[in-house]
């Protein structure tokens, strides 16, 4: 971290020689142990921030200019606060502009800022670098422009920035986990009312293993939106049976099994996954409190099968990755992380088994797919914060 801050500080001074000493803010990436596609159905999730993050260096200007620099892309972007609009050319800048846009829209009076940022969250690694950037930037704006925002309000503005300005209809889990996590804990989050519990992880010899299939997620955006529509369709049918149903989280397993024939395919299958997945998240939270990793692993594997067969967001590459990973002793469970149709898997693995897992994937996965995987080992971390 100190080396990263020093390098970013040096680059910031080269970019903005008259801006003075910047302040630094970190926004971590996140993983989700269980709870695939439950967040936008008002269900439960079990994520945490991880030790890969976006680091932001920032200073306040005395005019209305926003000056952004991406260290990793080596690209600059400048715009006035009164002229914020979506950029097709510099799409990375939309995540920063979105934060300022939604704050201005709600009446906050803002000054311009200089912001340089870089990070070590893998692109396409399913750890939500976009949410990490939004949360880091919003944390910087709140601190440096003295905005009266509590943490939950900050999370909501970051989600709104991605929904309204960037145009990605994500749930709230990514921003919430990036902002609210605590090292050594998982977040048991109710996405309906944003109540949450930080549950300690009592194990010390376990890591989260992210494996990138290198399968491009060409269908992920369109299919994600389609899955949301199908879930909404199912929820509306259940709402006609019970007006108290806000979303699929309000449909019990018993109610689903009794009335599922009233829901046409494929919406019925999507609802089945979500309703049973919400139950799996609750069971995983209880297993975590018992420090029962075997039970969590079983739940993860059930979740993967449901995402593959019922929610239908897997692909041959992910199937191969999960099959190989779960065959290694010391791997408790593997599931899809992110939107599916490629991308990454997440495994809970004993530290002593990591090298064996990497070796087996490097030997067997290319034979099955013709692709060479990439791996990252991550652990839980604190949420967004100022760093010194």
What was the pLDDT predicted at 316?
A: 96
Kindly tell me if the per-residue pLDDT of 318 is higher than 80: yes
Both tokens assigned to 195 = 């109540």
Ramachandran angles phi, psi of 211, nearest 5°: -120, 120
What was the pLDDT predicted at 220?
A: 62
What was the pLDDT predicted at 7?
A: 93
Both tokens assigned to 20 = 């003075």
Condensed to tens digits (0 to 9), the pLDDT of residues 147-187 reads 999 999 999 999 999 999 998 888 899 999 999 999 999 99
Kindly tell me if the per-residue pLDDT of 366 is higher than 70: yes
What was the pLDDT predicted at 169?
A: 81
Q: Please state whether the peptide bond connecting residue 266 to the residue before it is cis, i.e. omega within 30 degrees of 0.
A: yes
Condensed to tens digits (0 to 9), the pLDDT of residues 262-276 reads 999 999 999 999 999
Pairing of strands 344-350, 331-337: antiparallel
Q: Is there a contact between 8 and 116 (Cβ–Cβ < 8 Å)?
A: yes
Condensed to tens digits (0 to 9), the pLDDT of residues 127-157 reads 889 999 999 999 999 999 999 999 999 999 9
Question: 285: pLDDT confidence band, cut at 50, 70 and 90?
Answer: very high
Query: Which whole-number Å values give the CA distances from 155 to 102, 160, 179, 246, in the listed order?
Result: 12, 9, 7, 22
What was the pLDDT predicted at 29?
A: 95
Give the Cα separation of 334 and 298 in Å (integer).
9
Spot the catalytic one: 63, 146, 151, 174: 174
Both tokens assigned to 327 = 């065959």
* CA 275 from centre of chain: 21
Condensed to tens digits (0 to 9), the pLDDT of residues 329-365 reads 999 999 999 888 888 999 999 999 999 999 999 999 9
Spell out the CATH class of 206-378: alpha beta
Q: What percent of the chain has pLDDT over 70?
A: 99
Condensed to tens digits (0 to 9), the pLDDT of residues 27-81 reads 999 999 999 999 999 999 999 999 999 999 999 999 999 999 999 999 999 999 9
Kindly tell me if the per-residue pLDDT of 3 is higher than 90: no
What was the pLDDT predicted at 216?
A: 81
Specify whether 250 is catalytic: no
Kindly tell me if the per-residue pLDDT of 102 is higher than 90: yes
Mean pLDDT score across all residues of the chain:
95
Both tokens assigned to 65 = 């200019």
Question: 309: pLDDT confidence band, cut at 50, 70 and 90?
Answer: very high
Ramachandran angles phi, psi of 256, nearest 5°: -65, -50
Residue extent(s) of CATH 3.30.70.890 domains in the chain: 206-378
What was the pLDDT predicted at 341?
A: 87
Which residue intervals of 106-205 are DSSP H helices?
129-144, 151-160, 173-180
CB count in 10 Å sphere of residue 184: 16
Give the Cα separation of 242 and 278 in Å (integer).
19
What was the pLDDT predicted at 218?
A: 67
Question: 101: pLDDT confidence band, cut at 50, 70 and 90?
Answer: very high
Query: Which whole-number Å values give the CA distances from 34 to 25, 30, 274, in the listed order?
Result: 28, 12, 12
What was the pLDDT predicted at 223?
A: 85
Condensed to tens digits (0 to 9), the pLDDT of residues 189-246 reads 999 999 999 999 998 899 999 999 999 876 666 788 899 999 999 999 999 999 999 9
Between 219 and 373, whose confidence is greater? 373
Q: In the CATH scheme, what is the code of domain 2-202+382-387?
A: 3.30.230.10
């Amino acid at each position: 971290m100190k080396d990263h801050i020093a390098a970013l500080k040096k680059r910031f001074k080269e970019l903005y020689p008259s801006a003075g000493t910047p302040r630094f803010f970190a926004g971590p990436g996140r993983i989700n142990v269980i709870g695939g596609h439950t967040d936008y159905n008002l269900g439960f999730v079990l994520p945490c921030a991880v030790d890969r993050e976006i680091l932001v260096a920032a200073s306040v200007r005395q005019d209305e200019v926003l000056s952004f620099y991406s260290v990793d892309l080596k690209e600059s972007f400048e715009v006035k606060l009164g002229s914020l609009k979506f950029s097709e050319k510099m799409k990375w800048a939309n995540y920063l502009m979105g934060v300022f846009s939604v704050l201005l829209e709600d009446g906050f009076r803002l000054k311009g800022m200089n912001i340089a940022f870089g990070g070590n969250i893998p692109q396409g690694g399913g750890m939500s670098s976009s949410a990490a950037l939004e949360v880091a930037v919003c944390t910087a704006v709140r601190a440096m422009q003295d905005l009266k925002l509590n943490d939950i309000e900050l999370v909501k503005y970051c989600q709104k920035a991605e929904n309204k300005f960037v145009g990605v209809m994500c749930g709230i889990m990514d921003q919430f986990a990036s902002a609210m996590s605590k090292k050594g804990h998982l977040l048991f989050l109710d996405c309906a009312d944003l109540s949450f519990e930080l549950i300690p992880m009592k194990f010390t010899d376990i890591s989260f293993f992210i494996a990138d299939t290198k399968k491009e997620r060409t269908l992920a955006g369109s299919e994600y939106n389609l899955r949301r529509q199908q879930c909404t369709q199912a929820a509306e049918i259940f709402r006609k049976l019970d007006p108290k149903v806000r979303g699929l989280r309000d449909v019990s397993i018993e109610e689903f099994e009794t009335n599922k024939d009233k829901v046409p395919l494929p919406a019925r299958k999507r609802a089945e996954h979500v309703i049973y997945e919400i139950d799996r998240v609750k069971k995983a939270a209880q297993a975590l409190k018992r420090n029962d990793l075997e039970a969590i692993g079983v739940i993860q594997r059930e979740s993967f099968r449901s995402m593959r067969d019922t929610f239908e967001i897997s692909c041959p590459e992910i199937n191969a990755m999960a099959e190989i990973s779960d065959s290694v002793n010391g791997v408790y469970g593997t599931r899809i992380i992110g939107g599916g149709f490629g991308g990454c898997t997440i495994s809970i693995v004993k530290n002593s088994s990591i090298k064996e897992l990497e070796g087996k994937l490097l030997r067997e996965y290319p034979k099955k797919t013709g692709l060479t995987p990439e791996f990252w080992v991550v652990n839980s971390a604190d949420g967004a914060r100022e760093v010194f």
